[in-house]
Structure 1
C-alpha cells in the first residue's frame, strides 16, 4: 500500500471509558479504519490530561483514574481520511477530532 507524500494526520482524543456499542471506542475506531483500508492507526495512552469538563485524569497511584486520555492517530490521503470522518460523527459523543496536513517521508519496510 502506498500513501501520498502530502497526506493528512487525523487525531482523535477520547477517554479510555468511551464506548461504542459496548466495545471501547478507540478499538472500534481502529477496527473501522482497518476495514476501510486506511494506511494504519495507532492508539497512544496519556498519563495525565483533561478535556472540556476540566476533570483531571491521571495514572498517579493516589489518584487512580479509570478514564485515562487516549489519542488515536491515523495518517492517509486526504480523500481517505475525509471518507472516514462521517463514521466518526456517528460514534463520537464527546472528545476532540483534529486534522493537519503532513508530509510522509517513509512508510513501510525498506526495499531489499
Structure 2
C-alpha cells in the first residue's frame, strides 16, 4: 500500500480565546479557507490544563473555556503560507505543532 507524504498542523487553544472580540478558532478557520486548505477539524476537549491553568467545563450544556484542537492535513507549502498569520493569533496563548504524516 502506498502512502502520500503530507503534513499535519495541530493548533491547541481554548474555546474562549479572542482577538479583537472575535473567537480565535473562527479566525483560524477563516485563514485556512483563504489559504486554500481543503479541510480542517475543530475538536473540543473535555478537560485539560496548560500554562494558563485548567480548562473549566460545566456539565449542564454550558461549556466555559474548554480546550480546542484544530487539525489540518495538507501539503507543507500550503501550511507554510498560512502559518505566520495563525502564529500571530495564537501567540503565547496556545501551542502549534507540525508533523510529517503518511496519508493512505
TM-score where L is the length of structure 1: 0.80
Q: Which residue of 2 aligns with 1:47?
A: 46
Deviation at 1:74, TM superposition (A): 0.8
Q: In the TM superposition, what is the alpha-carbon distance from 1:35 to its structure 2 partner?
A: 1.1
Between the aligned partners of 1:89 and 1:56, the Cα distance in structure 2 is: 22
Report the Cα distance in structure 1 between the residues aligned to 2:38 and 2:102, rounded to whole angstroms: 14
Contact 2:58/2:64 (CA < 8 Å) preserved in 1? Answer: no
In the alignment, structure 2 segments of 5+ residues that lack a partner are none
Number of residue pairs the alignment of both structures matches: 100
Structure 1 runs of 4+ aligned residues shifted over 6 Å read none
Give the TM-score taking structure 2 as reference length. 0.85
**Partner of residue 85, structure 2:** 87
Shift of 1:66: 1.4
CA distance in 2 between partners of 1:38 and 1:32 (Å): 9
Bigger CA drift: 89-98 or 24-33?
Answer: 89-98
Equivalent residues of 2:57, 2:65 under 8 A apart? no
| 1:110 alignment counterpart | none
TM-fit CA distance, 1:58: 4.2
Unaligned runs of 5+ in 1: 106-112
Q: CA deviation at 1:59?
A: 2.8
Pairwise CA distance, 1:84 = 1.2
